[in-house]
Amino acid sequence: MIIINEVVVSKNLNSISRPTVLSIALMSAITAQSSLAETVQLEKVQVTGNTITPELNSVDAEQIQKLQPTDLEDLFSQSPEVTIGGGPDFAQKLYIRGIEDQLLNITIDGAQQATRQFHHAGRISIEPELLKRVEVNAGAGNALSGPGALGGSVKFITKDPEDMLKPGKNFGALVKGLFSSNTDSFKTNTSLFGRLTDNWSAMLSYTQSDAENYEDGDGDEQLGTNSDQDYLFAKVVGQLSESQTIRVSYEKREDEGDRTQRPQWSVADFNPLYPIETERETVTLNYELNPIGNPYLDVNFSLYNTETELFQNGRFGPYYGTGTTVGFDLRNTSIIGMHKVTYGMDYREDETEAEGTTSAYQDESEVKGVYFQDDIQLTDALLLSAGLRYDDYELDNDFGGTSYDESEVSHNLGVNYDFTDNWSAFASYAEAFKGPSAQDAFKLDFWTLSPDLKPEDAQNVEYGFAYESLTWFGSAKAYQSEIDNVIADPAGSPRVFENIGELESDGFILEVGQRWDSLMARVSYHYNDAEVDGMEANAYDHNGIANTVRDTLIASLDYQYGPQWRFGWNARFVKGRDNVETSLGEVDQPGFGVHDFYAQWLPSSNEDIRIALTVRNVFDKDYRAHASVADFRPAFEVRGFNEPGRDVRLSAAWQF
């Protein structure tokens, strides 16, 4: 038995219960599961994405409740291998080990986020309020990570009605208000949930937030960071029989505000403010068949439809960019002796469309996949995992009149060995494949695709060891990732998407922590070096591909004082760098250290009322994240946003 990152994971396949089903994880790359048993700890991490390597980056509902995140940067502030750049919520981009989310497989309740409307805006829109957990798999993973997971995968999973109900209750409600001092904003959430019958439950939730421009650590207002957001979420869960469950969910997220022409760059003469509106609408359905006592049958069928839209009335006149993704995933898991085998097929169809003042063009692409993953418990101490997936990509480009059809088989192999009850070692090799697919909608009417475009191929190697006892835990791992034939439109090219070379991401992660009866301490360090075609990756030259954040240290403390009080501290330190080479010349990136504090108070023992205080950037540090575009002034009037200064967040929640 091995304990990985605050959960006990049984390595005996015969003792594995049927795999934990992500309630509405429709297109989730659910890898082979291990049966989980909670230990008495301050934090719980759901380890479902990888049976071989320890997971350091995932986020659970308890962390979300403490941190009170309002955007991606808040959400992943304790994840060492995840960095967020862009400044304002609307412009934020997610990187895993320096690789941008365009090269990752991102799902929200299983619905893949595969299209992009504007390359200077963020592609991933989330509402943290109702998230149950976030699962992060860094690096090209196993066959269940889904198509196009060149740099890894991220799965956002929302709560079920049963997750909200108090024990013994058939109906409940949650009313919550959150005040943020920096943006002078008030965010509200109202949720209703309950059991319709013994076998059916439902929930309805509405969240609204209206935030002003934030101020940086020097007190300067960052124009173009305001937002008005609305989020509607509904879910119905039905237990059709003892072995059959169906889940249907609907969510709609709207965001509008005055943003710069290029939202990831701050205001300049060439980059003024314009109104921008975005909307994402997703419908998902998940059907599960898990006959009790049948080790050969554990079926999951998922179906989803995601539609996104961006409108900007800016420098080039009115622009509409839309994206539609429709897909399904059908898989089954069988336990046969020492083997736990998951196999299935998936399909996704993407369409991006751009409509300006004089023209309208679109990209249409589809990907068909078949996959197989086998976790083999060779001995009590030795776990072997092997798999493969076949993907076939097809793309039709309207503007250039070009078509592509590429297919390939990707392999993976991993091993985890328990030397003792406390020590284990692991190593893995994985491949991932992505053919030409629908591109940035904004460029559809004046950018072509090279007729010689090749598919992208990734190889990822990582290895290390982990230690876990009742009091101490830690791990160390190194990785090396290569993505061949990266597709991009480099500056200075004749407006053509082409293969620009190889992306390399190398690094290592160290983590150590200790638990006491009511206190937990943790420290992690991540070093990453990402290069594109021999040049160090940066957010200006390699927008949409990669970025480098070299040295990051994260430290945290969590203290439980009796049943009603909880306190915590979290800090992120990034080492400064001088004379970083870019196509615009050398640039400096000053280092920074940012401290956050949180406290929770439960006035009553039954937790009907919860008061929470979170202070982000306690010491009002003025800084710019290294994952954002650097400051190129005075040579060039290009710079990313400074991050928010001190932000005091006070919330009150009443649940009954």
Hey, what domains does the chain have and what are their CATH numbers?
2-655 (2.40.170.20)
Q: Which amino acid is located at 240 in the chain? A: L
Cβ partners under 8 Å of residue 379, min gap 6 = none
Spatial CA neighbour of 310 closest among 275, 284, 273: 275
Report whether 588 contacts 580 (CB < 8 A). yes
Cβ partners under 8 Å of residue 241, min gap 6 = none
- What is the per-residue pLDDT for 563? 87
- What is the per-residue pLDDT for 50? 54
* Per-residue exposure over 534-572, b if at least 16 CB sit within 10 Å of its own CB, e if not: eebbbbbbbbbbbbbbbbbbbbbebbbeeeeebbbbbbb
Spatial CA neighbour of 61 closest among 148, 157, 144: 157
- What is the per-residue pLDDT for 484? 96
User: DSSP for 479-502?
Assistant: EEEEEES-EE--TTSSSEEEE---
- What is the per-residue pLDDT for 40? 31
Per-residue tokens: 393: 């990509």
H-helix segments, 194-319: none
Q: Which amino acid is located at 473 in the chain? A: F
Count CB neighbours of 348 within 10 A: 24
Euclidean distance between CA atoms 486 and 432, whole angstroms: 13
* Residue with tokens 């992690």, as numbered in its chain: 524
- What is the per-residue pLDDT for 28? 33
- What is the per-residue pLDDT for 37? 32
Q: Which amino acid is located at 641 in the chain? A: F
- The per-residue pLDDT for range 573-609, each reduced to its tens digit, is 999 999 999 989 999 999 999 999 999 998 876 668 9
- What is the per-residue pLDDT for 608? 85
- What pairs with residue 156 in β-bridges? 108, 134
Euclidean distance between CA atoms 94 and 544, whole angstroms: 10
- The per-residue pLDDT for range 312-358, each reduced to its tens digit, is 888 777 888 899 999 999 999 999 999 999 999 999 999 999 886 55
Q: In whole angstroms, how far apart are CA 67 and each of 41, 230, 269, 592?
A: 18, 21, 37, 20
Report whether 65 contacts 652 (CB < 8 A). no
Please state the φ and ψ torsions of residue 492, each to the nearest 5 degrees: 90, -10
Is 488 exposed, middle or buried, given 0-12, 13-18 or 19+ CB atoms closer than 10 A? buried
Cβ partners under 8 Å of residue 530, min gap 6 = 97, 98, 99, 503, 504, 505, 536, 537, 546, 547, 548
Euclidean distance between CA atoms 113 and 127, whole angstroms: 14
- What is the per-residue pLDDT for 606? 64
Q: Which stretches in the chain have pLDDT values below 50? A: 1-49
Count CB neighbours of 613 within 10 A: 15
Count CB neighbours of 336 within 10 A: 11
